[in-house]
Structure 1
């Protein structure tokens, strides 16, 4: 559960004790908006930032691991040539297929992706409230986590400026969007499996955005029980 200082910070922002709060993330990549829409919104970040250790790991992989793999393969080729041996090749059996094979996976899933270009992240209309919110979702913080706080009269979305944070201890978050209850509501079901729970923020114009990866099980359970009871 979030520490007392997190609740103290939330109380300072809301001006009252939060009814419920939970850290969450956009559970799938944000769809790529049309270029003109992205440009009009200021061409903000559409992906979360990465920690510097990730870049260090990528450099080590490409400049250390990859050369070692190539050197090992070249060494094996040289050994084979010097020993006069050709690598063993398996003779295809009669009737067996050779060459590239076509993928014959589930075509239904591909069709679903075509029918739902927004990927279940939001309603798909970039001009409505949910689309505009997504266009600036990562503009306030490179960290993917957002704190959704419920007050008696409004919903507040906050973010921490830090690249890394602990959901139980982060107390430097700042509000990035607020919506009165006549402009937005939370839709969620209690009792969802932990690790797979999601909820939607639905706006008065009919748009919605879905989030998941809910932080701290106790906070998530209380949050979902609260919104389901008020539905």
Structure 2
């Protein structure tokens, strides 16, 4: 269950009690065409990195890379490298290239889902977003901090919102923890898949609520979680 600090903040930014609440994110934001990105203001496409990431990168270069190079050199000297030069060994069948939108959204940057993606990371250096819904709204909130603890983030701000008749929430209950996803389908036909559900209890509760059917279900949003 979300901590009281997060719930209090959600009530404050919404002005009412949320009926749905879950931390989520995008597994991999696709890169838009340059002209579309430029027209949208060149917002951030990737989340900011915490300083520990850069420290780890430095340690990897200083410690791991030299070890790997020495090991590779040792294998060459000992003649243990595979020298098979047959054409079929050098050019194995490659898997089909993934779609440019990575299965994250429908692929049209001019529609609602694409426009939402363009400003997704520009509002926060962290990939985590608080997804909220009320009886008549679907909302996104984010913390301005680089590092976010979902159970105690009390500084989230409302990023954008939609009327409940503009978006439908689709999900299946009972998805494996750590791999659960849900989809937002907008009235213009565009769609966006969200995952990285941070809190297991909140994720299970959220998925059960939107999977329905429930008597309070209305335009894809349920009246109570």
Query: What is the aligned-residue RMSD (CA, Å)?
Result: 2.6
Match among 90, 104, 108 for residue 102 of structure 1: 90
TM-score normalized by the length of structure 1: 0.82
Distance 2:12 2:147 in 1: 23
Describe the SS at the equivalent of 1:222: helix
After TM superposition, give the deviation of residue 105 of structure 1 in Å: 4.7
Aligned length: 212
TM-score normalized by the length of structure 2: 0.84
Aligned ranges for residues 156-195 of structure 1 at < 5 Å?
Answer: 156-195=139-178
Distance 1:13 1:66 in 2: 47
Summarize deviations over 1:99-137 as a string: whole Å, max 9, x none.
262353564xx15x2xx3211100000000100110111
After TM superposition, give the deviation of residue 41 of structure 1 in Å: 0.5
After TM superposition, give the deviation of residue 189 of structure 1 in Å: 1.3
Distance 2:203 2:42 in 1: 32
Q: Would you say the 8 A contact 1:25–1:212 is kept in 2? A: yes
Distance 2:111 2:145 in 1: 29
Matched, 1:224 2:207: yes
Q: Name stretches of at least 5 consecutive residues in structure 2 with no aligned partner.
A: 221-225
Distance 2:174 2:81 in 1: 56
Q: Name stretches of at least 5 consecutive residues in structure 1 with no aligned partner.
A: 77-85
Describe the SS at the equivalent of 2:172: coil
After TM superposition, give the deviation of residue 183 of structure 1 in Å: 1.1
Distance 1:103 1:195 in 2: 35
Describe the SS at the equivalent of 1:225: helix
Distance 2:177 2:208 in 1: 13
Distance 1:59 1:224 in 2: 40
Query: Who is 1:53 aligned against?
Result: 52
Decide whether aligned partners of structure 1 residues 5 and 102 sit closer, same or farther in structure 2, where only a CA change above 3 A counts. same
Query: Who is 1:134 aligned against?
Result: 117
Q: Would you say the 8 A contact 1:20–1:219 is kept in 2? A: no
